[in-house]
Copies of this chain bind each other. A is one copy, B any other.
Amino acid sequence: MLIGFDEAAAFLRGCKDAVIITHRNPDGDCIGAGFGLKDILAELGIRSRVVCHDEFPSPRYDFITETGAGEDFEPQTVIAVDIADKKLMGKYEEIYGDRVQLCIDHHISNMDYAERTLLNGKATAACEIIYDLAVYMGVNISKHCAACLYTGISTDSGCFKYDCTTPRAHEIAAEMMRKYDINFARINRYMFDVKSAGRMRLESKVTELMESYLGGKLNIIAVTKDIADAMGVSMDDLEGFAPMTIQLEGSEVGIFIRQRDNDYKCSFRSANDVNVSEICQRLGGGGHAKAAGCQMTGSLDDVKKQLVEAVKGALGQ
């Protein structure tokens, strides 16, 4: 059931011993939302614990998790943050999936699996909603809490770069700088600039694999198992590379291909106006207008040929 700030506030004020679930493969928004909400509950005198199927990446998020995930107690309240589908809870789905009392989320695709869902599909991040909820409730926001919530807004918006950035995200950032003196430059450095030596080498190598088609409007990077083996990386290490396919001047569509056991996983990105979700749907996949995907079988050359043809059609060529 969708609820508003009034009901969410009343629920939080009345809750006790809460577990806060974040999604698997945790990112800045769910980690910031989890630990930020924990700070807010602590201000209300309510103890809570933040849980995740995976480890929180370290040292990247140490400045958030340094306050501790919380004591071990038998939860009486179950809260999910930034989780659109209970499947994303990983091992916690079995334990808590059917008894989430409050979900705070910004994904328009939210499955409405919780008893109460505070949803704003237009918000940049779950952290944006949690900040506004805390302001609505008049709860004191600590500097640590502000840093947590800023991190979620900054990471989900690509540091205020992408379409999903709201005016409200900027206003909150301004308030956080004025009122809480957060070290936003250091946070952004760790979120966006700092890379491991392995990641840096990998980016450099992956760049070299880029091939241009359709007069440079389509760029494809394909990583086969042989190439990954030669680089000494697993396919998991190749997460987050799809945006590189539309970095090249003049590109309209980019496809990042990763070979799997029985097929090729193809991640599409659109630079401007091409709807890649429509292209992927025709190829049996789906997604969003600017980021979508599909699976393809056959030889890599055949796969590329089919992809080029599909994009050619979408470009009206």
Smallest CB–CB gap between A64 and chain B, Å? 17
* Contacts A170-B174, A170-B177; A195 near B247 (Cβ below 8 A): yes
Interface size class of chain A, counting residues whose CB lies under 8 Å from the partner chain: 35 or more
Determine if A243 is an interface residue (Cβ-Cβ < 8 Å).
Answer: yes
Determine if A229 is an interface residue (Cβ-Cβ < 8 Å).
Answer: no
B178 and A167 within 8 A (CB)? yes
Determine if A230 is an interface residue (Cβ-Cβ < 8 Å).
Answer: no
Smallest CB–CB gap between A14 and chain B, Å? 34
Q: Scan A139-165; emit 1 where CB is below 8 A from any B CB, else 0.
A: 000000000000000000001111101
Please choose the segment from A32-40, A196-204, A305-313 that sits at the chain B interface, where 4 or more of its residues have CB less than 8 A away: A196-204
* Chain A residues packing against B (C-beta within 8 Å): 159-163, 165-168, 170-171, 173-175, 177-178, 184-186, 188-189, 192-197, 200-201, 203-205, 207-208, 210, 212, 243, 246-249, 271-272
Contact of A194 among B167, B212, B247 (CB under 8 A): B247
Nearest 9 CB-CB pairs, A to B? A170-B174, A167-B174, A163-B185, A170-B170, A161-B188, A167-B177, A204-B204, A204-B207, A170-B173
